Amino acid sequence: MKKLWGGRFDGKNEDWIDAFGASIFFDQALAKQDILGSLAHVKMLVHTKILSQEEGQQIIDGLTIIQQKVANDELDYTVQNEDIHLNIESFLHEEIGPVAGKLHTARSRNDQVATDMHLYLKEKVQDILEKIHDLRKVLVTKAEENIETIMPGYTHLQHAQPISFAHHLLAYYQMLTRDQERLSENLKRIDCSPLGAAALAGTTFPIDREFAAKELGFGSVYANSLDAVSDRDFILEFLSNSSILMMHLSRFCEEIILWCSHEFQFVQLSDTFSTGSSIMPQKKNPDMAELIRGKTGRVYGDLFGLLTVMKGLPLAYNKDFQEDKEGMFDTVETVEKSLTIMSGMIASMQVNQKHMLESTEKDFSNATELADYLANKGIPFREAHEIVGKLVFSCIQKGIYLQDIPLEEYQSIVPTIEEDLYDKLSSYTAVKNRNSLGGTGFAQIEKQIEQAKQHL
């Protein structure tokens, strides 16, 4: 089969060389975008009178036929045609004959593939933003159901202070809000058309890049043709944002995995998001959470893979750019599936409210409440901190907790301590009273939920 670029060549590559250099195995995923870009390009060529109306309509009719075949998965791509661009052009030749060759006037595969990827990511990032929005809604709904659900708050994976479970969920809501903001900013760089930059230097044909950009729904065009064909920042930014997003999902999955364990027993996942063991009949494993945690690493790998490809490339286009797509496709698929699973997993998750509360009543997570109580009695906080530390040490030796110490013993240390101390030491009161801005107090959580609902 003669190469569409083969005029300058006399020899023929061996099949395995062709296969090594081909990208059609994966870039066929850009078929829809490639045809959209070609349709906009040919309309621009007609608009600028570079092609006649008749020639343009022939090409548009042929591309429309191929577009339908792509939608119906009826095309057989070939390695000999290397990539999606030459495969589509070859199909067009079969449909309409030699006039198909005029489609590539004032265009290069360099600006063509860049356009395809901008179109692809623009669509996919919008899909991902919708999935993030859905997950944020799930978190707010679950938080609203658990405003007064008390759980231990942790630092160093040690009981620290009691908090509302809703407060914990809303922390992830805030993380995902930042993820949504980052990807929305990313869209500004994605929404820029490289079409018309040609190979690297623009073209002598009187093209209208703004016309083509408008046809494709782009908000702007690249100001520099060298930059247009060599820029992959928009993909790197997407991969970076996706890595941060997956890190957030992974952290949450790690906590869910812990909460499902026999040691915690805070939550129970739906059977839909769990699996069993081939040898241990009692097992119910949080495999979907574990997979999201594991797949986070492959998204990191996609980012570092492209960073490594890019770090030594001179301007403008280099064949190395062929390595920019598989990681992008992989990250899109991984992020989309992970977000969908997270939404379903959290929405169907059962919360063991009773056990969560009990786990805050047999610990010393109320120690700060006692220190704050003493500080309100006029004792300097550092002195109060030392007093409480000694009391905790004494309780551990006796096998009791702060709320078990008799009032007389408290008063022997600080005479101004009163009966109301025991209410202050309860987990419920400790959480309810933390009403500083952004705190875990119920009133503050209600404000957070109301703000989230308005934002959503």
Tell me the pLDDT tens digit for each residue of 357-404.
Answer: 999 999 999 999 999 999 999 999 999 999 999 999 999 999 999 999
pLDDT at 21: 80
Catalytic site includes residue 277:
yes
pLDDT at 1: 55
pLDDT at 4: 59
User: pTM for this structure?
Assistant: 0.93
Query: Mean pLDDT over residues 244-252, rounded?
Result: 98
pLDDT at 22: 85
Catalytic residue, chosen from 156, 262, 278, 436, is 156
Q: What is the pLDDT of residues 396-448, one digit of tens each?
A: 999 999 999 999 999 999 999 999 999 999 999 999 999 999 999 999 999 99
Catalytic residue, chosen from 270, 277, 394, 412, is 277
Q: What is the pLDDT of residues 162-174, one digit of tens each?
A: 999 999 999 999 9
Query: Mean pLDDT over residues 113-118, rounded?
Result: 98
Catalytic site includes residue 225:
no
Question: What is the amino acid identity at position 260?
Answer: C
pLDDT at 13 over 80: no
Q: Which band of pLDDT confidence, cut at 50, 70 and 90, is reported for residue 209?
A: very high
Query: Mean pLDDT over residues 192-221, rounded?
Result: 98
pLDDT at 7: 59
Q: What is the pLDDT of residues 61-93, one digit of tens each?
A: 999 999 999 999 999 999 999 999 999 999 999
pLDDT at 77: 96
pLDDT at 67: 98
pLDDT at 8: 62
Query: Mean pLDDT over residues 177-200, rounded?
Result: 98
Q: What is the pLDDT of residues 20-32, one digit of tens each?
A: 888 899 999 999 9
pLDDT, mean over the chain: 95
pLDDT at 17: 73
